[in-house]
Structure 1
Amino acid sequence: MLRIAIVGTGNISSAHIKSYLAFPERCQIAAFVDTVPEAARKRAEQLGLNVELLDSHKQLLGRDDIDLVSVCTPPFSHAEIAIDLLNDGKHVLVEKPMAPSLEECDRMIEAAKRSGKVLSIVAQNRFLDPIMNLKRVLDSGLIGRVVHAQIDSHWWRGHCYYDLWWRGRWSTEGGGCTLNHAVHHIDMLGWMMGLPTKVAALLSNASHDNAEIEDISVAALQYDGGRVAQVTSSVIHHGEEQQVIFQGENARISAPWKVYASTSKDNGFPQRNEALEEELQKYYEGLPPLAHTGHQGQIDDVLAAIETGGTPLITGESGRMTIELITAIYKAGFEQRTVELPIAKDDLYYTAQGLVDNAPHFYEKTNSVAHLGSGQEISVGGNYRDRK
């Protein structure tokens, strides 16, 4: 029986807590940690849990009665907390994004290697049937070599969203929609296609004049072999219609699921390849559903890795790859030029301070509140979440 602590009891912690509670025979939540003790107490009361209440993650150190810790704090604190816990011999699951900088990611990975403990980064959308199945179809080779990917990470957030004290600042949120919203879809792209060789990007703040950071970015990615991708990251799109599209040499597939295949006429113009479409549809429909989805699916995966001594699907290295691509988008957008990957350790943008020092302030943050809409439901995105 693994004993769990939750560090940070804000909105996203509920997804972790409810997921752990789905596995009562495998784990037990033992402690809530929050720098605002009242917030931890309220969260425990909301869920009817009798847990220890602490006000610092350091109070978990030196204890052998905590096995796994979920870190659900603002991004700027992820590295310090995770490294302390890993060095103390605890397994760690960190909410997205892994950290604002590659330097912090590397220190987290090194701490995990030294301790031999599991470090996993939340990318719960991989554990949705439409995304997992899309990956499986890609891996089947049926669509041929991928030549183009289109990532539409479309979200919408109201003006007051950035009034929360840590949001809207490069120094505390680490970035805008590219880092904190599109991280889900950029993770999917990296998982399915790997890292590009070159990135160009445009960044802007079109609707939130109470934030320093971008609320939309558009990036163009160059891969080897002539392959390209485009990534739109936004919190200004009504309807939050998100999609991941892969154009292969033989067919097009996507989440939400859609398939279209073409072959060439003698004159080079397209004609529909219904036989391949039927084959792809049959393959897709024959894939087994996931036993657990979303955060619950990822927590099941992390628990299994700890129980068996295995490796979770989403490792520290996976989280780092996503941050490297996001860092490249920021560098390209800030400097208004095409940049090459990988990002070197002596690069200005390798550290969080380097990024903050070079980031544009689209606006200055004008309001700061401790809490926003406490107890209200939050959305975790994906218009494909309930579709096979």
Structure 2
Amino acid sequence: MINVAVIGTGAIAPSHINAYQAFSDKCQITALCDVYSEKAEKVKGDFKLTAAIAKDYKELLNRTDIDLVSICTPPYTHAEIAVDFLNAGKHVLVEKPMASSLKECDVMNEAAERNGKTLSVVAQNRFRNSMMKLKHVLDTKLMGPIVHTQVDSFWWRGHSYYDLWWRGTWEKEGGGCTLNHAVHHIDIFQWMNGMPSEITAVTSNVAHDNAEVEDLSIAIGRYSNGSLAQITSSAVHHGEEQQLTFQGENARVSTPWKLKASKSKENGFPEEDYELEEKIQHVYDKQPDVKYEGHAGQVYDVLTAIEANKEVLIDGVQGRKTLEIIMAIYESATLGKTVKLPLNEESAFYTRESILKNAKHFYEKKNTIDNFGENTITT
């Protein structure tokens, strides 16, 4: 039986708790921690847990009845908490984004390797049937080389969203919609298409004058073979229509699932390639469904990895790659230049200190509240 502690009992914590409770034969939640102990007590009651309550996570470091921790706290706290628990011999599942800087990612990965413990970064959308099927289709190379990718991470958040005390600041949240909303789509993008060789980007804040950070960014990624990728991150798009589209030389596929294949007429104009469409659709349909979706899928992956001493699907190295693209977007937009990948210690956005020094403040945060009365997440 794997004993679990959940650090932070805010809006995302129920997703973790529900996932763990789905595998009561493998794990049990033995501790909850939150700086607002009343929140932890409410969560304990809501989920009928027998867990101990702590106000400071350090109270839990030396407890022998904890094997795995879920870190559900604001991003600027992730690195310190994760490293402390890894050094204490615990496995760690940390919410997205992995950390506030690439240096913090490197420190976390070093701690995981040195202690021989699992470090997994939440990217629950990989554990969706549609995503696994799309990844399988891309891996077959039936589409031919990818020539263009479009990532539309469209979200909408009201003005009051950034009133929460830690949101909307570079120091506490670490960035805006590019980091905290588009992180899921950017993770899927780099998992399916690999890392671009350079990024050119612009950012703006068009609707949230109570936040320092961006609420809209547009980036172009270039690959060494000339392929281009467009990445739009937004917290201002009504309807929140989201998609990832991959255009190959032979066909286009996307999620939500859409398929179109073309072949050339003698004069170069297109006609539909029904034979290729049928082959690709067959591959998509025959790919088996994942056993568990979303957070449950990732928690199952982590639990089975711990039991079998094997690798997780999304480790700290994968988590760092996603943050590297995001930091390249920020660096390019801030400095007004194309940024080459990979980023190293010379990057103006490698450390938390350099980010705070260089990041553009669109506005200064005006309102601050401790908690919202109603704090459910809609997706």
Which TM-score tier does this pair reach, normalised by the shorter chain? Answer: over 0.9
> How far apart, CA to CA, are the structure 1 residues paired with 2:318 and 2:13?
22
Q: What does residue 325 of structure 1 align with? A: 325
Following superposition, the deviation at residue 52 of structure 1 comes to 0.3
> How far apart, CA to CA, are the structure 2 residues paired with 1:105 and 1:56?
23
Following superposition, the deviation at residue 92 of structure 1 comes to 0.1
Q: Secondary structure at the match of 2:106?
A: helix
> How far apart, CA to CA, are the structure 1 residues paired with 2:279 and 2:203?
41
Following superposition, the deviation at residue 340 of structure 1 comes to 0.7
Which stretches in structure 1 are left out of the alignment for 5+ residues? 382-388
Q: What does residue 384 of structure 1 align with? A: none
In structure 1, what residue type is equivalent to 2:121?
I
Following superposition, the deviation at residue 301 of structure 1 comes to 0.3
1:84-233 equivalent positions in 2, closer than 5 A: 84-233=84-233
Q: What does residue 80 of structure 1 align with? A: 80
> How far apart, CA to CA, are the structure 2 residues paired with 1:62 and 1:294?
31
Q: What does residue 363 of structure 2 align with? A: 363
In structure 1, what residue type is equivalent to 2:10?
G
> How far apart, CA to CA, are the structure 1 residues paired with 2:309 and 2:148?
37
1:200-279 equivalent positions in 2, closer than 5 A: 200-279=200-279
Q: Secondary structure at the match of 1:173?
A: coil
In structure 1, what residue type is equivalent to 2:377?
I
> How far apart, CA to CA, are the structure 1 residues paired with 2:373 and 2:363?
24
> How far apart, CA to CA, are the structure 2 residues paired with 1:124 and 1:34?
23
Following superposition, the deviation at residue 124 of structure 1 comes to 0.2
> How far apart, CA to CA, are the structure 2 residues paired with 1:84 and 1:327?
25
In structure 1, what residue type is equivalent to 2:80?
E
Q: Secondary structure at the match of 1:201?
A: strand
Q: What does residue 36 of structure 1 align with? A: 36
Percent pairwise identity:
55
In structure 2, what residue type is equivalent to 1:94?
V
Q: Write the deviation string for residues 305-361 of structure 1: whole angstroms up to 9, x where unpaired.
A: 000000000000000000110000000000111111111112221101101111111
Q: Write the deviation string for residues 122-176 of structure 1: whole angstroms up to 9, x where unpaired.
A: 0000001111111010001111111111000000001000000000000100000
> How far apart, CA to CA, are the structure 2 residues paired with 1:177 and 1:336?
19
Q: What does residue 316 of structure 1 align with? A: 316
Q: Write the deviation string for residues 22-60 of structure 1: whole angstroms up to 9, x where unpaired.
A: 000000000000111111001111112121000111111
> How far apart, CA to CA, are the structure 1 residues paired with 2:283 and 2:346?
46
Following superposition, the deviation at residue 297 of structure 1 comes to 0.3
Q: Secondary structure at the match of 1:30?
A: strand
Q: Secondary structure at the match of 1:350?
A: coil
Aligned length: 379
> How far apart, CA to CA, are the structure 2 residues paired with 1:356 and 1:195?
25
Q: What does residue 377 of structure 2 align with? A: 378
Q: What does residue 285 of structure 1 align with? A: 285
Q: Write the deviation string for residues 57-96 of structure 1: whole angstroms up to 9, x where unpaired.
A: 1111122210000000000000000000000000000000
Following superposition, the deviation at residue 254 of structure 1 comes to 0.4
In structure 2, what residue type is equivalent to 1:93?
L
Q: Secondary structure at the match of 2:225?
A: helix
TM normalised by structure 1 equals 0.97
In structure 2, what residue type is equivalent to 1:283?
V
Q: What does residue 9 of structure 1 align with? A: 9
TM normalised by structure 2 equals 0.99
- In the TM superposition, structure 1's runs of 4+ consecutive aligned residues that sit over 3 Å from their partners are none
> How far apart, CA to CA, are the structure 1 residues paired with 2:16 and 2:373?
19
State the Cα RMSD in Å: 0.8
Following superposition, the deviation at residue 373 of structure 1 comes to 3.5
